[in-house]
Structure 1
Amino acid sequence: MALTYTLDNARSLIAVALIIFISWLLSENKKRFPFFLTIGAIAVQAGLVLLLFAIPNSQAVLSGVTAAVDGLADASDRGAQFVFGYLGGGQSPFATVPEGGQLPFIFGFRVLPLILVISGLSALLWHWNILKWITRLFGLLFEKTMGLGGASALAVAANIFMGMVESPIVIRAYLDRLSRSEIFLMMVVGLATVAGSTMVAYAVILGPVLPNAAGHVLVASIISAPAGILLARIMIPEERKATELDYEVTLKYENSMDAITRGVQDGVMVAVNVAAFIIVFVAFVGIVNNLLGLAPPLNGEPVTLQSLFGYVFAPVAYIIGIPWEEAHAGGNILGVKLFLTEFIAYIDLGNIPADAMSERTRMILTYAICGFANVASVGIMTGGMTVLMPERRSEILNLAWKALIPGFMATLMTAAIVAALPAQLFGG
């Protein structure tokens, strides 16, 4: 396989340096820049990408991940169809519906049930020690390569699979011992990654327009964790010895049924939050677009919130490696992700026809928006963490908005590192 390197790849390296520089400008202690951690984080990110894409038969492994996700989606559809009938994707009773009687993809009946299934399955796999050991392996990786303490390392690793609200529960017994820097780190990584339940939902949304979408979304959440660690440590360096951890006092379930029950209950909360925020934010977009419709056209097109996002964030899309001719569309997606939600951004990205955007640009954006760093998630995160740590409420509220910037930049850094590598590694 011949690898080619272009200016688009090289430009992405400038983005990595710029993101690190901005984080340093926002640092509370500019004299304590973590040089070795910077090298280690970038090396871990690039190494994980190469490990997951460049080794022989890696594409077959990622195709297997995609097949597994398709299997989970199909199983979830069966449950949804049992409850919701044809609205869940079954045969339509209406003869006028095209394409063999199949209804269009309905988000509420196809994606939200999937969140419930994956949430319950994740809790069961944790109880069976499968997900627990995978999380511990990633925790050990972060502990050895980035110098994290046991508690922080496990919480960071749990963020990759469980999400920003669930991961603190894993180390609940240690939350009162965490330093300010460790709490900030947990917030940033939580905003830079996504939960397993939503990860699968994103893959289902992108599946029709991006080959190996499930593999890309999984890799995106994994490799954004080191970026989140780095940017958090640059902005608020650790001042004391990291909190150690006894793995025997982490999250536990009584039995398999307890795991499924609590997992489904947690999934209901996630699904309700996702549905509620999407309804509200889509409505807000409609209100703003109606007001913007009173303004004169911009470049011959009606002024909308999405078009404004495109102009504001086009330079960001360009610097992380997207060609200029697609930068406006890319900036639109980035703006929607930051100010609305990543779910809406993925839906918008999935609605762009396959021939209207290059596969490389779509792949870069998949990494750039694969994180919870948006305005709505800050509220969800602070609500969950203040319940777990009520005595540190003011500290959490003070750090939450500060964490949004590095959380957003961490996924941009991940996208830039992916864009810096030859497209042929990813099958392009």
Structure 2
Amino acid sequence: MFSLLNLQSLFGLAVIVALCWGLSENRRSFPWRLAAGAIGVQALLVLALFAIPGSQVVLSAITGAVDGVAAATAKGTQFVFGYLAGGDQPYVVGNQGALFTFAFNVLPLILVISALSALLWHWKILKWITLGFGFLFQRTMGLGGASALAVAANIFLGMIESPIVIRAYLDKLTRSEVFLMMVVGLGTVAGSTMVAYAAILAPVLSNAAGHVLVASIVSAPAGILVARIMIPEQPGQGGAVADYGSALKYDSAIDAIVKGTSDGLMVVMNISAVLIVFVALVALVNLMIGGIVIADAPLTLERFLGWLFMPVAWLTGVEWSQAGKAGWLLGTKLTLTEFVAFIELGKVPLEAMNERTRMLMTYALCGFANIGSVGITVTGLSVLMPERRDEVLGMIWKALFGGFVTTLMTAAVVGAMPAAIFS
């Protein structure tokens, strides 16, 4: 049964598309067929992953696999860090919740999943899954082979790792295709971080691992649509053909594990550094504006972002009574990264946020579109295609907007679905 909240999400979907059209470089060239196809593919993927018979068994298996990886990672972390990582405590612990430490309980997951992803790529398991999605996007959404493969790789790899897969074709991509790659990269997440997000949300959201995986998959067609609306492809251009070979190769299983671990370490260090700096900057801003009292409480950046993003959260289908908290989470994602936003979402008491809002925010937060990712994207793409650095710099802020609204579009599509399919 459809409700007013479903219609609210549909209205939000229309507003998001209209905003992208308003920022388009060619408003006369609106991809109507692509818009219908992208939203249709999103809806079908959500239905396929949640509504078809047996899908809940698959999602439960994904959750079980994530729990298994988390438990195995905890063993390795405790071997290195002992009681600091939740091992046997040398003293009586009065507050068990205080034992959770982001550095020891979340970041090691990224190392393990990064190594596993590299190993699965070397064994061609992840590679064939990626090729399958690439073929789907190529056939259903009219992408060139190289762009389709990069988009598919973004679902499982990172926003910098995926261009490596099509490195031989980067110089052949049009401006529109480069922008598409940037938007999808910012609008999805890497496999290494998916498990970390799921671990954070597991205590407060049923099927958290399934929702996070679906969010990254479903956001890919949304990112394609957003990018094509904002920077349409010129007639007769684009469509670089790829032979679906890959520049991402490993010499052996051991080589894959070692290089995957090394790549994961770089991700962990980047995340740690960005979180330290951005959390410190927000605290500094709060100290400067803390003397301003509004509604009998000091003004903070979090409160300001909550007010600013309330209408945005409402457009995804969130009830207005909870839009303030949801808007704060969206603002936190944009300024402090999605990691902080997911941690804060996991801290929200069950009675303070209903299941629908919590689920919609999981989809809306599940993307790399934050201010810190701007520097990572520019740096990474500048290394891969230095001759196009100025072009990347000229599109990066528009790509950040595109990546941000990509996840909002995904949340709106999910919000428009009947609640029964998720139960």
Aligned 8 A contact 1:152 1:186 in 2: yes
Deviation per residue, 1:89-141 (Å, 9 max, x gap)? 22211114445xx8621100111111000001001100100000000011011
Instruction: Provide closer, same or farther for how the CA distance between residues 96 and 23 of structure 1 changes in structure 2, counting only shifts above 3 A.
Output: closer
1:371 counterpart letter in structure 2: G
Q: Runs ≥4 in structure 1, deviation > 3 angstroms?
A: 96-99
Is the aligned partner of 1:134 residue 2:129? yes
Hey, what does 2:301 align to over in structure 1? 305
Aligned 8 A contact 1:89 1:103 in 2: no
Unaligned 5+ residue runs, structure 1?
Answer: none
Give the secondary structure class of the aligned counterpart of 1:362. helix
- Aligned pair partner of 2:346 in 344, 350, 354: 350
Hey, what does 1:375 align to over in structure 2? 371
1:419 counterpart letter in structure 2: G
1:264 counterpart letter in structure 2: T
TM normalised by structure 2 equals 0.98
Aligned 8 A contact 1:91 1:103 in 2: no
Shift of 1:209: 0.6
- Aligned pair partner of 1:18 in 15, 18, 22: 15
Aligned 8 A contact 1:24 1:235 in 2: yes
Aligned residues: 421
The whole-number CA distance in structure 1 between the counterparts of 2:93 and 2:27 is: 65
Deviation per residue, 1:142-188 (Å, 9 max, x gap)? 00110001110010000010010110111111111111111000000
Hey, what does 1:275 align to over in structure 2? 272
Deviation per residue, 1:348-368 (Å, 9 max, x gap)? 101111121101100000000
The whole-number CA distance in structure 1 between the counterparts of 2:371 and 2:412 is: 22
2:396 counterpart letter in structure 1: A
Hey, what does 2:282 align to over in structure 1? 285
The whole-number CA distance in structure 1 between the counterparts of 2:207 and 2:351 is: 17
Aligned 8 A contact 2:171 2:385 in 1: yes
Instruction: Tell me the percent identity.
Output: 62
2:361 counterpart letter in structure 1: L
Hey, what does 1:251 align to over in structure 2? 248
Q: State the Cα RMSD in Å.
A: 1.1
- Aligned pair partner of 1:416 in 406, 412, 416: 412
Hey, what does 1:398 align to over in structure 2? 394
2:284 counterpart letter in structure 1: I
The whole-number CA distance in structure 2 between the counterparts of 1:96 and 1:36 is: 60
Larger displacement relative to structure 2 (186-195 or 30-39): 30-39
Is the aligned partner of 1:333 residue 2:333? no
Unaligned 5+ residue runs, structure 2?
Answer: none
The whole-number CA distance in structure 1 between the counterparts of 2:413 and 2:49 is: 14
The whole-number CA distance in structure 1 between the counterparts of 2:71 and 2:98 is: 15
Shift of 1:9: 0.9
TM normalised by structure 1 equals 0.97
- Aligned pair partner of 1:30 in 27, 52, 59: 27
1:289 counterpart letter in structure 2: N
The whole-number CA distance in structure 2 between the counterparts of 1:26 and 1:245 is: 30
1:341 counterpart letter in structure 2: T
Aligned 8 A contact 1:306 1:336 in 2: yes
Aligned 8 A contact 2:177 2:238 in 1: no
Within a 5 Å distance, the mapping from 1:105-116 to structure 2 comes to 105-116=100-111
Shift of 1:249: 4.0
Is the aligned partner of 1:229 residue 2:224? yes
Hey, what does 1:220 align to over in structure 2? 215
Within a 5 Å distance, the mapping from 1:138-177 to structure 2 comes to 138-177=133-172
